[in-house]
Amino acid sequence: MQTGPLCRIPHMVEEGALPVAIASFTLFAASQVATPGPANMVLLATGARFGLRRAWPFVAGVALGKQLIIWPIGFGLMTLQDRVPLLFAALKWISVAYILYLAWRVAGMRLGHGKAGDTPPGFVAGLVVHPLNPKAWALITTGFTTFVTPGTPTLQATATIAICLLTLQFILHPLWTFAGERIAVTLAGTTGERYLMWSLAALTVLSVLFALFGGGKPL
């Protein structure tokens, strides 16, 4: 790329390959988007509480929120990491605090489609999930540094990454939400309900801790 994220991950795309290794990146991204993480745990819990139909604005916000990371990273945001380290350190801990808040909310949810007066989280609430999700930062940074051929125009690389991820998210995020709805049908009102929600909250916390301290440091 001419400009873009500078990360200490070596390029793996050989010269002469496509500007972006789309097939390889799509497989890698699918393995990340489809697996448990803060966003998917919150989607699962939201689906369990409100059902997919009522949760659609939230799902759309979560899917589009990743675009708020992709484009700044593609155009060089990560080059500021060495120059303004305190900014990125602050962002990391804000992310931790937000994910812990989400986990607390998940732990307190109960299954079923909510009472008549209950309001599901909306589009804006979904929009901020990925910008404060360390796993999303790690995925996108790895996408640029590993699957984009050096010299690729910034706009081309960024648009390709953005389209691939948006497509995967609009397929996989609703599936996680629908899975939550189906789980609610089985467990609502049973003794397993509380254990499920606490387990989802614990997985949310563990996934962000792994992204920050075990699976590389995206921020």
Residue 120 DSSP label = -
List, in sequence order, every residue forming a beta bridge with 20; answer none if it has no partner.
Answer: 148
Is residue 135 a part of any domain in this protein? yes
Is residue 17 a part of any domain in this protein? no
List, in sequence order, every residue forming a beta bridge with 148; answer none if it has no partner.
Answer: 20
Whether the full predicted model's pTM is greater than 0.75, yes or no, is no
Predicted pLDDT of residue 9: 38
Predicted pLDDT of residue 141: 86
Is residue 200 a part of any domain in this protein? yes
Mean pLDDT, contiguous 10-residue spans, the chain (219 residues) = 43 57 91 85 87 94 95 80 67 70 68 64 92 85 86 91 96 94 77 71 69 53
Domain that holds residue 136: 22-78+92-214
Predicted pLDDT of residue 132: 83
The number of domains in the chain is 1
Predicted pLDDT of residue 149: 86
Residue closest to 40 by CA, chosen among 126, 113, 158: 126
Q: How far apart are CA 83 and CA 93, in angstroms?
A: 18
User: For the segment 109-119, what is each residue's pLDDT rounded down to a tens digit?
Assistant: 666 655 555 78
Is residue 101 a part of any domain in this protein? yes
CB neighbours of residue 56 within 10 Å:
16
Is residue 83 a part of any domain in this protein? no
Is residue 11 a part of any domain in this protein? no
Predicted pLDDT of residue 54: 92
Is residue 97 a part of any domain in this protein? yes
Predicted pLDDT of residue 162: 96
Predicted pLDDT of residue 95: 64
Is residue 198 a part of any domain in this protein? yes
